[in-house]
Amino acid sequence: MPRRQHQPEDPEPIQRRIRQAREQVLGGRGPGAGPLETAQFTRERPALGGQPPAVSREQVAEQARLARGDPADLARLAARHRARLAATVDEARTRLSLRLASARRRARVAVPVAAGAAGVVLAARAAGRRGRPRR
């Protein structure tokens, strides 16, 4: 059985498709971008990876200090992390105590109401049994 030879496509349509793909991928950014567009996508970004640029830069600097292993830098980083952790724990403790106080207030109201409702139900059952003959 003879093999069919693949006919190459015309190079012009292929080049046109490549050019269109490049334009879609690049979207106009690159060496020919205007100053406003460059500023918008580099210096004036509101966030890098979901974080403000200053936070991202600080994280990179912190990682560099950790990589160097300088004891003084490591001590400062440990103190900073300890302070952040203490602040987080204090905030969590405050929120939890507020929730517990709120739950206690609700329980003071809910327990008598529930007891009263249970009493009404038990009284209604007892009254209903009195009127019915036993089996």
67 belongs to a structural domain: yes
Contact 86, 78 (CB under 8 A): no
Q: What is the pLDDT of residue 121?
A: 75
| Residue whose tokens read 């015309």 | 10
63 belongs to a structural domain: yes
Phi first, then psi: what are they for 100, rounded to 5°? Answer: -65, -40
113 belongs to a structural domain: yes
5 belongs to a structural domain: no
Tens of pLDDT, residue by residue over 55-88, are 888 888 888 888 888 888 888 888 988 999 999 9
Number of Cβ atoms within 10 Å of the Cβ of 53: 15
Among residues 32, 31, 57, the alpha carbon closest in space to that of 43 is found at: 57
34 belongs to a structural domain: no
37 belongs to a structural domain: no
Q: What is the pLDDT of residue 83?
A: 93
Write out the residue range of the structural domain in which residue 69 sits.
52-128
85 belongs to a structural domain: yes
Distance separating alpha carbons of residues 100 and 95, to the nearest angstrom:
9
Secondary structure letter of residue 11 according to DSSP: H
pLDDT of 111 above 70: no
Number of domains the chain is built from: 1
